[in-house]
Chains A and B, each alone.
Chain A
Amino acid sequence: MKRAIVVLCLTLFLMMSFSACQAGEEPLLDEDELRELEVRVANDNCRWTERWLIEDQELIDEMISLIVDHVQVLRPYASLGFIFGNINVLLDEDRRPYAPAVFFQEKGAGYGVVMMSPGALDDVHRDDPTLAVVRYSDGREGFTERPEENWVICTMPAFYHAQLYQLLQTVTSDTLIEGVRGIL
């Protein structure tokens, strides 16, 4: 009986370890916190002058799930000059025509997830393409004098990166098309 209990404890311990491994590291962004914030998307090459409010709960759930489950921190933003200098390398207009972003915010404070293109099939980092995450509290999206305090460069597994990228692209394209139709 004792041996059985020992084996049972060992099994439970292994199961718990396995679950912990599956869960991976603590997510960068807190799911509950994101759910309490307003969701807006933008897609105009990092200017973000227009942000569309997203109210489709299914869409929001999908975005949050992809971000919380799959975004991994690569490194903090390194202050190599003005923020746009570096961010523009990632969002270069020729190579990266679109940079859809999603913001979770309230009263000028919140989080932004800025996508970079999934990249070509022969990219060295095609398996884990890049994106940037910013935390801000002053309505300036981290474009402050000390951007390294706000911006984090992240990666995502290619499959989920492409899913999130295309989700944001589709949302913004559809919204743009609807806007144009409205004008016409």
Chain B
Amino acid sequence: MKAVKRKKAMGMMAVLAALTICLSACGSSIEDLGPGDRFVDLDELLDSEATICNDMSGSKHISGSEWRMHEVTEQETLEVIAPILEKAEIFRPITTADTYVGDPEFNEEFSPYAPWMVFQGTDYEYIVWLLDVREQLSNDYIYRDEPALAIVRRTEDGEQAYYCFLTAYDYSVLYTVMNRYVSDFDAHVTYMVD
């Protein structure tokens, strides 16, 4: 008899627990994207035509048409970059008060240490900016543990534009890969070796 009662009580508690979990899940699904969420789709990136721009000439005065865009032709490079970007976590939406994103010439610190990428898909586009890399990777930067980057995803339906965080490790790897992809980097290395 006792065992039956205990089973009933346990059953009730199980139902209660399930109900709690369901309610929590419903509560969280009401909101769209929030802080800490991820919104970059790995498959979309891997299926894109990617280009990297990182003008290391240091010229802050070149016009947009003169930026040197480098098409990413090696799949291996994309396979390093894409999984890192997939891990980017949303910090907050980008607003019109944020002058970092847009024409790099508006911000002197933007260039030349601000590589950016475009991933062009069939019906979507991602734009990724690394902002001011010198600051983000500075050892005494107050937020060195969570460097920020800007990611915009555009489709016909609209645009999602967020500042996101990566771990310092991922950010460094991402920057290095993007940087290395640019031919000017090789010239720089040669110079250093000489």
Which B151-187 residues sit within 8 Å CB-CB of chain A?
163
Evaluate contact between A118 and B142: CB separation under 8 angstroms. no
Evaluate contact between B20 and A4: CB separation under 8 angstroms. no
**Closest beta carbon of chain B to A156's beta carbon, Å:** 10
Provide the residues of chain A in CB contact with B18, threshold 8 Å: none
Residue of B9, B17, B141 with most chain A CB atoms under a 10 A cut-off: B9
In the complex, whether A52 has a CB less than 8 A from a CB of chain B is no
Provide the residues of chain A in CB contact with B93, threshold 8 Å: 159, 162-163, 166
In the complex, whether A122 has a CB less than 8 A from a CB of chain B is yes
Q: CA–CA, A75 to B107, complex, Å?
A: 34
Main secondary structure of the interface of A (DSSP, over half): helix
Evaluate contact between B95 and A165: CB separation under 8 angstroms. yes
Q: Which of A7-15, A133-141, A146-154 interfaces with chain B?
A: A7-15
Q: CA–CA, A124 to B93, complex, Å?
A: 18
Q: CA–CA, A5 to B93, complex, Å?
A: 47
What's the tally of chain A residues with a CB closer than 8 Å to chain B?
Answer: 28
Query: Which of A5, A157, A166 touches B95 (beta carbons < 8 Å)?
Result: A166
In the complex, whether A98 has a CB less than 8 A from a CB of chain B is yes
Minimal Cβ-Cβ distance residue in A for B138: A122
Main secondary structure of the interface of B (DSSP, over half): mixed
Q: CA–CA, A166 to B194, complex, Å?
A: 51
Provide the residues of chain B in CB contact with A4, threshold 8 Å: 5-6, 8-10, 12-13
**B interface, how many residues as a size bin?**
20 to 34
Evaluate contact between A159 and B91: CB separation under 8 angstroms. yes
Q: CA–CA, A121 to B136, complex, Å?
A: 10
In the complex, whether A169 has a CB less than 8 A from a CB of chain B is yes
Q: Given known contacts A96-B97, A166-B95, is B35 in contact with A121 (CB within 8 Å)?
A: no
Q: Given known contacts A1-B9, A4-B6, A121-B163, is B35 in contact with A169 (CB within 8 Å)?
A: no
* Chain A 96-139 interface mask (CB, 8 Å, partner B; 1/0): 11100000000000000000011011101010000000000000
In the complex, whether B128 has a CB less than 8 A from a CB of chain A is no
Evaluate contact between A121 and B97: CB separation under 8 angstroms. no
In the complex, whether A90 has a CB less than 8 A from a CB of chain B is no
Query: Which of B2, B5, B12, B92 touches A8 (beta carbons < 8 Å)?
Result: B12
**Closest beta carbon of chain B to A63's beta carbon, Å:** 15
Residue of B2, B9, B16, B97 with most chain A CB atoms under a 10 A cut-off: B97
Evaluate contact between A122 and B92: CB separation under 8 angstroms. no
Q: What are the 3 closest A-B residue pairs judged by CB atoms, nearest first?
A: A4-B9, A159-B35, A162-B92
Residues in chain B within 8 A of chain A (CB atoms): 2, 5-6, 8-10, 12-13, 16-17, 20, 34-35, 90-98, 100, 131, 135, 141-143, 148, 163
5 A-B residue contacts at CB 8 Å? A8-B16, A11-B13, A159-B92, A162-B93, A169-B95
